[in-house]
Amino acid sequence: MTAANEAKAILDRLGVPVSVWAQGLPTRSPIDDSGVGDVAATGELDALVARSVKAFAPWRRVPAPRRGELVRLFGEELRAAKGDLARLVTLEAGKIVSEGLGEVQEMIDICDFAVGLSRQLYGLTLASERPGHHMRETWQPLGPVLVISAFNFPVAVWAWNACLALVCGDPVIWKPSEKTPLTALATQAVFERALVRFGDAPDGLSQVVIGGREAGEALAADARIPLVSATGSTRMGKAVAQTVAGRLGRSLLELGGNNAMIVTPSADLEMAVRAIAFSAVGTAGQRCTTLRRLLVHESIADALIARLKAAYETLPIGDPRKEGVLVGPLIDANAVRGFTTALEQAVEQGGEIVTGGGVENAAYVRPAIVRMPAQTAVVEHETFAPILYVLTWSDFDQAVELQNAVPQGLSSCVFTDSVREAEQFLSAWGSDCGIANVNIGPSGAEIGGAFGGEKDTGGGRESGSDAWKAYMRRQTQTVNFSRELPLAQGVKFDV
């Protein structure tokens, strides 16, 4: 069965009306380039935002634990639809089966997290310098949240934002990648099942906008949307940030990653090879946390590269629906061109292709390992494809400096059995990334921690920890329960 026909059957089972994918923007599966349909572009953006604003008024009055009940029901519906939705992720984004299932599981996990969070939107009690006064800090719902998501995690990243936003009291507008609109429409259909069971949610609480760059730009410029959460390239993020800042709105940005692993002489090489293979090749190198730079001590470089070369040359590449396949397709022809162009540039800049690099069939490429003489321009650039650049070092300080000497700052890791090296890597003068790991790869973060990075990665934080605060507004409150009116700082103003 073609990927397109299988996708149509799933959309039908999940209750997505044929009318929304029968006209407008063409959608194709990277698996076999078969066309699923022409997804209808969303019109009347002004009216759509107005519905979100209208929904905010009653939703912010709903107690947070009650808002959490909607997310709990959504989690139940996701569990029931997990197989179909995960399969659609595979069909539309080209992920292997286990990764598609893992992405939907991530949605379920963030639902569980958000339900608990709905009873823990805590503030602070502050000491007042004035007698008979009580100060406290509270967090209030913010307003409609725009989520602009990328093709590589077509549903999970939306869920990170949406589940937290909903329990915080905010409606959500979702602008998915034009490369993966079907998974968004299917997720919305699943969410609407939860809305029916919930019973009294306002209309417009969650809406999907199908369209291209122009739709995203128009929504980002809309002053009625106080927060824009955008995932994608650094170029896109800078444009969004400037637009939103121009109207003094807030932006939460998850942008490029050029993630490195430092491997020291004391490292467990067998464990390192397994971590490298998944981190560099998983999702066909199309994760923002994909391992792109391998920084190896010169004394073990040859041995480690030999092991990696042997592992890479046995990687099963092909239709991600098939059992045993570990590397599916790149998302489209542009991604393939980016892959081949980067390899050409690497060779021009003194690199040696150790293995891989070929285009096997249409969107399918063979993951490459390239040994580089230095951290050249192509190494400092994030190519969204399975290319692993290998560099050597002799001093640990040099390795950390190499890791930090790129514009991006998302994820990082070190493989070592030295406590000193591990702690230095995690210190204030160690990794400058938002995520730093020891003896685990840079890819595959859990939802319990705040996810995000520094520098050109944008500085945003999503998912766990206290990332929820981005979706609320902070308010400092002072209550005078005395019969006097003392002023702060001892000011006297008697009239």
Question: What gap in Å lies between CA 226 and CA 157, rounded to an integer?
Answer: 19
Q: What angle do CA 222, 224, 225 make, to 5 degrees?
A: 75
168 is catalytic: no
Q: Both tokens of residue 383?
A: 């190519």
Q: Are strands 35-39 and 25-28 parallel, antiparallel or unpaired?
A: antiparallel
Dihedral sign (CA 192, 193, 197, 198): negative
Provide the 8-state DSSP code for 42: P
Provide the 8-state DSSP code for 41: P
Strands (E), 373-471: 387-393, 408-409, 411-415, 435-438, 450-451, 454-455, 462-463
Query: Which residue in 6, 77, 99, 254 is the catalytic one?
Result: 254
254 is catalytic: yes
Query: Which residue in 168, 288, 413, 433 is the catalytic one?
Result: 288
Q: Which residues pair with 436 in a beta bridge?
A: 412
Residue 169's nearest CA partner among 57, 54, 250 is 57
Question: What gap in Å lies between CA 436 and CA 368, rounded to an integer?
Answer: 25
84: left (phi over 0), alpha (psi -120 to 50) or beta: alpha
User: Which amino acid is residue 424, in one-letter code?
Assistant: Q
Of all residues in the chain, what percent are helix, strand and coil, respectively (each to 5)?
Answer: 40, 20, 40
Question: Annotated active-site positions, please?
Answer: 254, 288
